[in-house]
Chains A and B, each alone.
Chain A
Amino acid sequence: MTFNLTRRAILAATVVLGLAGTAAAEFPESQITLVIPFAAGGSTDVVGRIVADRMGQELGQQIVVQNVGGAGGSLGAGQVAKADPDGYTILMGTVATHALNPLILKQKPYDPVADFAPVSLLVLVPNVLAVNPAVPANTVQELIDLAKKEPLAYASSGNGTPLHLSGELFKSMAGVDITHIPYKGSGPALTDVLGNQVPVIFDNLPSASGHISSGKLRALGVTTKERAPSFPDVPAIAETLPGYETYSWNALFAPAGTPPEVVAALNKAAVAAMADPAVAERMKEFSATIVASTPEELGEHVKAEMAKWEPVVRDANVSLD
């Protein structure tokens, strides 16, 4: 009896130790939470869910998506900045959370460089300048000429968003004044431009693409340096205003202090997920360009973006408390 018990105890102990040994060596041993700092249904959410699904298969653990919307992405990003740096809580960061908000907000809820361990820059998403078809402007140049003759207004998804600042950068480079009309998100802004309540809009290309291909909106130019592969007929704004370049991007971040081997495991899974043809096909439909960078490249990218936007934010005089 005693012998049996002891032997069983030893066996059990061996099994437990063995399990613990493997677990410590292999990340991840339980499910991972991906925080998306915007409401469900938006473009960041869609990209995040597609990637989370595929990355989960790579890692052999489920990745649970949690939408923590609010304050233009600052709430969700702030939450991940303060999370345990073990790789089990990661963030789908964007140009808003890691370049614009830190520049615009007077009270900084987190430091985009010091508080995060970059994992991978996933995709670049072009923005687009479009007008209602009733507007007498077929090219970027004609719109600039029109704006010099009569007062115009443009709609954006909100104050301090990448789209607002794309518009401000356009105004300063073209030397025109166009009144900014902010909305609560892309949807209502699009509605008013489709109904010609507001003539001009800066929007994410994915959210406007359906209206552009159906002819309800006339795309004048994409904001990327090159034309977007999904709309080869739409010129880049840079063809009229050399040097003009803005785009939205999505990237994975872990909290600062996450062990390098965990970051490497996450990066490997993310890169593998983006290489999947099915994911690539989805991203193409979405007009997004796949980057799938290394952690170091993402770190450099964040610094470059902050340097690029700093003067635009200052000139446009956008600041939020």
Chain B
Amino acid sequence: MELFSNLAMGFSVAGSLANLAFCLIGVLLGTLIGVLPGIGATATIAMLLPITFQLEPVSSLIMLAGIYYGAQYGGSTTAILINMPGESSSAVTAIDGYQMARKGRAGTALAVAALGSFFAGTVSTFLVAIFAPPLTAIALKFGAAEYFSLMVLGLVMSVALAHGSVLKALAMVVLGLLLGMVGTDIYTGTPRFTMGITQYADGLNFVALAVGVFGIAEILRNLEDETDREVMTKNINRLLPTRDELRQMIGPVLRGTGVGSVLGILPGGGAILASFASYTVEKKLSKNPREFGQGALAGVAGPESANNAGAQTSFIPLLTLGIPANPVMALMIGAMIIQGIVPGPNVVSEQPELFWGIIASMWIGNLMLVVLNLPLIGLWVKLLTVPYFVLFPIIMAMCSIGVYSVASNTFDLYAVAFFGLLGYLMSKLRCEPAPLLLGFVLGPLLEENLRRAMILSRGDASTFVTRPISALLLLMALGVLVLVFLPQIRKRRDEVFTESDA
């Protein structure tokens, strides 16, 4: 049982007093920056990189990894409490989590998120340990055609996210796709829709967009109607979920963990899809899908498990291939290089203490997060009782600092203001921001991979159906489309029947 001896070695490395301390510092810091809206893990890790010079390689990576998954926990806290997702993955949590908070179930939502994340974290840590090498082989089978088909599947699923009109959801996806086009075209180098502003040459900043359409818009809406907030703060009575609620979350958590673990492995875009995909699955499986968007427990439990599982498994391509799945992983590579470790397939064999130590620390870190966060829930919920004239200016200031810290770009702040107004307008028109965000994230990936696949196949579009994985994904997309429209067809038929009966 090589696995167990490896894990034992990992735990002995991660369990040393110094490494436990660095793990704790990492997850504490991560939770904190996750809770502060706008300030993300990327900015924090970038700022902390110089400090890691002085540390042992294992300790520094354990701490940086702690910040990353700690921020995932903290990010869902703000998404639930003030509808302010700092990362793309918690955007989905905001949909139902915030509605739960408005109904006085903020404590339950936070506890469900924490427990779901812990379970997903535990499972995916073991997945990383067992399957890292074989799973990497699967990730390498994904070429441009496969990614294109995966993005198609993601966009089709995004329509199912909406709980209002399908037409409005489609409109939001398209608007998101268009916003994603802003920036330099990577194939020709032509700037598109940048209005001559060099600062937008690399596209609009995701954090600026998300903070604008979710957060600023929410603040504007709240200022319009103060009584709304007071109702919400008075109704908090219970923090921990009941036995019944615990039973309800088992299914979504298990499914979310599965979806998240698989999608997290894919470098580039995979992890982003995890929480969106899980939400779609839960909504489709639910007995009362109308509950979704009104504060469904499964709408929090599933996506939260999925994004945490995805966050863990995104370490697989990093540790086994030296390939970053997202900007945070790119920073981790930088941290490894600074320490003189060449990231790549050799890390497992040449630095087994490092590899297994990080894996073991992930589980320890997840445990610390649950122990830390369950008692803290009461504290976070008290945030809601802070009067709005104190809370809103603080949130605005934090958002501005956070958005600016991503790239030191003042134009990102103008974008926050613009998208705040747009988000407010959208809420007036009853349009959902989540499909817009997904279109924005997936659009550029869709286009990039479509064009790359076409160049590689020399203009032959059949490449998407002759490659088996790609064909399978497209078939799944077709299946989801049928599922989305089936209830409507059935409903229409029901209506026809009721009419004929009458």
Q: Is A122 an interface residue (CB 8 A)?
A: no
Q: How far is the CA of A290 from the CA of B355 in the complex (A)?
A: 31
Interface size (A, Cβ < 8 Å)?
60
Is chain A's interface secondary structure helix, strand, loop, or mixed overall? mixed
Q: How far is the CA of A43 from the CA of B321 in the complex (A)?
A: 17
Identify B140's interface contact among A66, A67, A182, A195, CB under 8 A: A195
Q: Is the CB of A206 within 8 A of B456?
A: no
Q: Is the CB of A182 within 8 A of B187?
A: yes
- Which of B300-308, B332-340, B415-423, B435-443 contacts the other chain? B332-340
Contacts of A66 in B (CB 8 A): 408
Q: Is the CB of B330 within 8 A of A210?
A: no
Q: Is B202 an interface residue (CB 8 A)?
A: yes
Q: Is B486 an interface residue (CB 8 A)?
A: no
Interface size (B, Cβ < 8 Å)?
53
Q: Is the CB of B201 within 8 A of A71?
A: yes
Q: Is the CB of A187 within 8 A of B330?
A: yes
Contacts of B378 in A (CB 8 A): none
Q: Is the CB of B340 within 8 A of A282?
A: yes
Q: Is the CB of A71 within 8 A of B202?
A: yes
Q: Is A285 an interface residue (CB 8 A)?
A: yes
**CB-CB contacts below 8 Å: B177-216 with A:** 184, 186-191, 198-199, 201-202
Q: Is the CB of A78 within 8 A of B198?
A: yes
Q: Is A258 an interface residue (CB 8 A)?
A: no
- Which of A153-161, A167-175, A299-307 contacts the other chain? A153-161
Q: Is A83 an interface residue (CB 8 A)?
A: no
Q: How far is the CA of A66 from the CA of B186 in the complex (A)?
A: 25
**CB-CB contacts below 8 Å: B319-362 with A:** 321-324, 327, 330-335, 337-338, 340, 342-346
Chain A's nearest CB lies how many Å from the CB of B134? 14
Contacts of B472 in A (CB 8 A): none
Number of A-B contacts (CB under 8 A): 146
Q: How far is the CA of A206 from the CA of B199 in the complex (A)?
A: 29
Identify B334's interface contact among A42, A160, A192, A282, CB under 8 A: A42
B331: nearest residue on chain A (CB-CB)? Answer: A41
Q: Is the CB of A192 within 8 A of B143?
A: yes
Q: Is A229 an interface residue (CB 8 A)?
A: no
Q: Is B407 an interface residue (CB 8 A)?
A: yes
Q: Is B480 an interface residue (CB 8 A)?
A: no
Identify B322's interface contact among A74, A182, A210, A282, CB under 8 A: A210
Given contacts A187-B267, A192-B144, A197-B456, contact A214 B338 (CB under 8 A): no
Q: How far is the CA of A70 from the CA of B203 in the complex (A)?
A: 9
Chain A's nearest CB lies how many Å from the CB of B219? 28
Chain B's nearest CB lies how many Å from the CB of A109? 6
Chain B's nearest CB lies how many Å from the CB of A271? 21
Q: Is the CB of A216 within 8 A of B345?
A: yes
Q: How far is the CA of A34 from the CA of B333 in the complex (A)?
A: 21
Q: Is B458 an interface residue (CB 8 A)?
A: yes
A52: nearest residue on chain B (CB-CB)? Answer: B50
Identify B344's interface contact among A214, A282, A285, CB under 8 A: A214
Contacts of A75 in B (CB 8 A): 198-199, 201, 409
Q: Is the CB of B46 within 8 A of A69?
A: no
Contacts of A196 in B (CB 8 A): 140
Q: Is the CB of A67 within 8 A of B342?
A: no
Q: How far is the CA of A194 from the CA of B191 in the complex (A)?
A: 30
Q: Is the CB of A74 within 8 A of B344?
A: no
Q: Is the CB of B143 within 8 A of A195?
A: yes
Q: Is the CB of A320 within 8 A of B268?
A: no
Q: How far is the CA of A160 from the CA of B185 in the complex (A)?
A: 12
Hey, which bits of chain A sit against chain B, CB under 8 A?
39-43, 45-46, 49-50, 52-53, 65-71, 74-75, 78, 104, 107, 109, 151, 153, 158-160, 179, 181-185, 187-188, 190-192, 194-198, 206, 209-211, 213-214, 216, 281-282, 285-286, 318-321
Identify 18 new A-B residue pairs, CB closer than 8 A, beyond the known A69-B202, A320-B184.
A41-B334, A46-B334, A74-B201, A75-B201, A184-B448, A191-B140, A194-B321, A197-B144, A197-B456, A210-B322, A211-B344, A214-B346, A281-B340, A282-B338, A286-B337, A319-B189, A320-B191, A321-B189
Give me 26 A-to-B residue pairs in the complex whose CB atoms sit less than 8 angstroms apart, sorted by A's number. Answer: A39-B327, A40-B42, A40-B330, A41-B331, A41-B332, A41-B333, A46-B334, A46-B337, A46-B338, A50-B338, A52-B50, A66-B408, A70-B199, A187-B267, A190-B323, A191-B321, A192-B144, A194-B140, A195-B139, A196-B140, A198-B456, A214-B344, A216-B344, A285-B340, A321-B189, A321-B191
List the 8 closest pairs (A to B, CB-CB), nearest first.
Answer: A210-B344, A41-B334, A195-B140, A197-B143, A320-B189, A71-B201, A210-B342, A41-B330
